[in-house]
Amino acid sequence: MKHIYVVEDHDAIRESVTQYLELSGFKAAGFSHIHDAQTAIARTLPDLLIQDVMMPDGDGFTFVKQLRTQYTFPVVFMTARGTESDRIMGFELGGDDYIVKPFSPKELVLRVEAIFRRLDHADPLRKHGTRWTLSDSELLFDELSHQFTLDKRDINLTAAEWRIISFLIENAGNLVTRAQILESCFDYSFESYDRIVDTHVKNIRGKLGVLGNSWIETVRGYGYRFAGFLAEGSLAR
């Protein structure tokens, strides 16, 4: 049973969301303050965090940014702040999804289920390690052990970033459009979400360092291409 933490200071919303999650087959725990959620996370990691932004004891964006220095579990922002700039900020800080109040509890559950579906039901035929080269660098990608390294340096990716790099590597050498990434990695197909793809790719490139733009090429006006070369004897295990 997946364990979900809901951090929301509005009692009615928090209780409604946790109850609906439990009715949908999840184990849910609610927290009215960031401090309480922080304490719980230090004790037991959730499978997913639903985080409000405007909290009485801090800012949800800042809290998730801090979490991302240690943890990679999925995060869904649940907030009344619905401008495009707020959405983009949420994804830049490591959010996997963003839902704006007021919302349907059913929609929230569907989004949560989509995230878990992506994490839990990857094609087993793709669950093997491969090595890729570019210039003098070597990248290891291993879905089975959930390992991603560049020149033997571990790179921690969020759930959304992992889905994107997995899809790009699966289609190495080929153009993948933003629409394809949205449909395959997020179950979205709306043009307004194109910038979300760009934001996640920007974050992945940043973690790859100076060669980030080389590993993931931009095909202007269309999408992206993973440019690494499959190493000889590339199976990692």
Q: Which CATH architecture has domain 124-235?
A: Orthogonal Bundle (1.10)
Tell me: domain 3-120, CATH 3.40.50.2300, correct?
A: yes
Residues contacting 189, CB < 8 A, separation 6+: 179, 182, 183
Domain ranges of the chain: 3-120, 124-235
Output 163 or 48, whichever has higher pLDDT.
Answer: 48
pLDDT tens digits, one per residue of 21-76:
999 999 999 999 999 999 999 999 999 999 999 999 999 999 999 998 888 899 99
- Looking at per-residue pLDDT, the higher value among 170 and 5 belongs to 5
- CATH fold match for the domains 3-120 and 124-235: no
The candidate with the shortest Cα–Cα distance to 63, out of 41, 45, 88, is 41
Angle at 180 between CA 165 and CA 143, to 5 degrees: 30
